Chain A
């Protein structure tokens, strides 16, 4: 069942009026969205609706054309005042506050599993190596992969790779976790193990923005679902209401097609 997080109004992510075009193709058309601390927001929508681009605009892997992204009140990508873009080192520092999990895992193939977890905390965040390694071992234990710590990613199954991907993001102690279709590249029988890890994260109070086609996860775990279509948010609300009594015709059509 949907968790009821502590009544908090502390906003972690605040997206205001994002627009983004690729050439003449308007992919985001004024999207605004907030995620409060400890909450899980699922972004649903057909492919091409702009949901992955929205996620990639949050940490400026794509540079939005207009609009603003605030993380815990600090603007991402633009300096204070909003007219001067951040330098690449300033932007890198902000990105390190946000964890990201990718559809195709994107683990670093030259590093072992535990090195994948420890790499950025040691070399980007400059944290103490021994502490980082101890925490990384604990995280691997938490995602059930302690035995794989010295294996290379190429030796793992897709589900194991994605659990490493999640642990790698957690090792940064991020303020916000972004999930970009984390189960879409997995064989159906491997989806469950990844969803289970994501559920425990959501229930333990992580702040998560999840782009997914996994309706079960959205229904059971999200605090809020957002439906995107054509670069806009067409409906948002609590999952129980959204899945039982969608308010818009577009949402009804979407649910008919995607929820069997």
Chain B
């Protein structure tokens, strides 16, 4: 068995390359999901009932689609509509789109749980439109959202593993390639799992940091 880990270590450059792709996909995917999720959350909080309900319908639909199905749809389906991504971009698009729905729902939930009075005070002081959101609403939403954002970020990291199905060269793909070639499944997958664990630990550290900032304001 120890031989297996030696083999994996010899090919650690492939794992490293996989990790870098996983990290890049997770970070870009998460940033896109948070930004678009915040914009969708504004629509979900709209006083316009029709707008609110139709956006809510789309968000609910997206959350009910299995992620794998969405990846297939983006990679195999969209080219039929003339939208042709390479593997990496298709994977990123699916990741960002899928998690935008979750982020929007998380942010909406936190937002609607915050007291409205400080938003009203901002209105009385002349805030309106984008500045009300960027200066007053979302700083409070994100401070309260730390743990839930962390959970979703971990979900995003794990979702990247599905992208092996469309041959995105991420961590799971790399581990899978090494085990298939050298027949060391246990060592290869354990190595990958430990790396996923380390990535999640970094996320947890980030959440702890946000919580510290938030705690000072509670």
Q: A residues bordering B, Cβ < 8 Å?
A: 59, 61, 88-89, 91-93, 95-96, 98, 100, 102, 104, 106-110, 119-120, 123-125, 152, 154, 168, 172
Contact = CB atoms under 8 A, between A and B. Distances in A.
Given A102-B117, A109-B140, A110-B143, A124 B123 contact: no
Interface in B100-143: 117-118, 120-129, 131, 135-136, 139-140, 143
Given A110-B143, A110-B217, A100 B127 contact: no
A104 B131 contact: no
Nearest to B114: A109
A125 B127 CA distance: 10
19 contacts: A61-B120, A89-B129, A92-B128, A92-B129, A96-B125, A98-B124, A100-B121, A100-B125, A106-B118, A107-B118, A108-B118, A108-B140, A109-B140, A109-B217, A120-B122, A120-B126, A124-B131, A154-B218, A168-B125
B216 A152 contact: yes
Ranked 6 nearest A-B pairs via Cβ: A96-B126, A106-B121, A92-B128, A124-B126, A120-B125, A106-B117
Contact of B118 (A92, A95, A98, A109): A109
A110 B139 CA distance: 7
Nearest to B143: A110
Q: Which of B118, B121, B125, B140 has the most chain A CB atoms closer than 10 A to its own CB?
A: B125
Interface size class of chain B, counting residues whose CB lies under 8 Å from the partner chain? 20 to 34
A107 to B, nearest CB: 7
Contacts of A107: 118, 121
Nearest to B139: A110
B127 A92 contact: yes
Interface of B: 117-118, 120-129, 131, 135-136, 139-140, 143, 216-218
A123 B135 contact: yes
A95 B131 contact: no
A93 B126 contact: yes
A96 B125 CA distance: 5
A123 B218 contact: no
B118 A120 contact: no
B126 A92 contact: yes
Q: Which of B216, B217, B218 has the most chain A CB atoms closer than 10 A to its own CB?
A: B217
A64 to B, nearest CB: 16
Given A104-B117, A110-B140, A154-B217, A119 B124 contact: no
A167 B87 CA distance: 57
Contacts of B140: 108-110
B135 A119 contact: yes
Contacts of A96: 125-126
A179 B167 CA distance: 64
Contact of A152 (B121, B129, B217): B217
Given A92-B128, A110-B139, A123-B131, 15 more contacts: A59-B124, A61-B120, A61-B124, A88-B129, A89-B129, A92-B129, A95-B124, A102-B121, A104-B117, A108-B140, A109-B217, A154-B217, A168-B125, A172-B125, A172-B126
Contact of B136 (A61, A91, A108): A108
A91 B127 contact: no
B120 A106 contact: yes
A120 B127 CA distance: 8
A104 B120 CA distance: 12
Given A123-B131, A124-B131, A152-B217, A95 B123 contact: yes
Contacts of A124: 125-127, 131
A20 to B, nearest CB: 17
Contacts of A100: 121, 124-125
Contacts of B135: 119, 123
Nearest to A165: B121
A92 B216 CA distance: 31
Contacts of A152: 216-217
Contact of A125 (B117, B122, B126, B136): B126
Nearest to A91: B128
Nearest to B136: A108
A152 B143 CA distance: 14
A104 B127 CA distance: 19
A59 B121 CA distance: 11
A110 B128 CA distance: 18
A154 B124 CA distance: 21
A140 B32 CA distance: 41
Nearest to B213: A110
